[in-house]
Structure 1
Amino acid sequence: MLDREAAIRADTRLSNWLAPSRLRFADACIGNIDFAAHRGLDRRNMLSLARVEWLKIMRT
């Protein structure tokens, strides 16, 4: 019961933070990117950004 309450509170807190942003695609994720579309996106670069590899490089 305590885990459920903690999860509900965390979800509510996240919803409250995201509400003012009025995100156009609130359920967007890296896995849904269409790399076949002609936008000049490089799959390798996008996935390395998603893995936060750039942060590891900057810390060294």
Structure 2
Amino acid sequence: MRMKYPMPTGNPEFSNNTLLEYYTLGFVFAKITPPSRDGLPNLLLQQRHEDGSVSCPRDVFY
């Protein structure tokens, strides 16, 4: 099986564009603001910690 696109290499391109359609390839560092418990009771946004553990936080994370 082959990847759809080659791995991104070279100099990074920094952008403040908030439209996900703008990013066709690469990695994104993002600030995540999960919805409130009233807006989405079952939260499925996962955050991986430095020790390898995973949680589904309700507060802002990167």
- Coarse TM-score class (shorter-chain normalised): under 0.3
Question: Which protein has the bigger strand share?
Answer: 2
TM-score, length of structure 2 as denominator length = 0.24
TM-score, length of structure 1 as denominator length:
0.25
- Which of the pair has the greater relative contact order for Cα pairs under 8 Å at 6+ separation? 2
- Find the structure with the greater CA-based Rg: 1
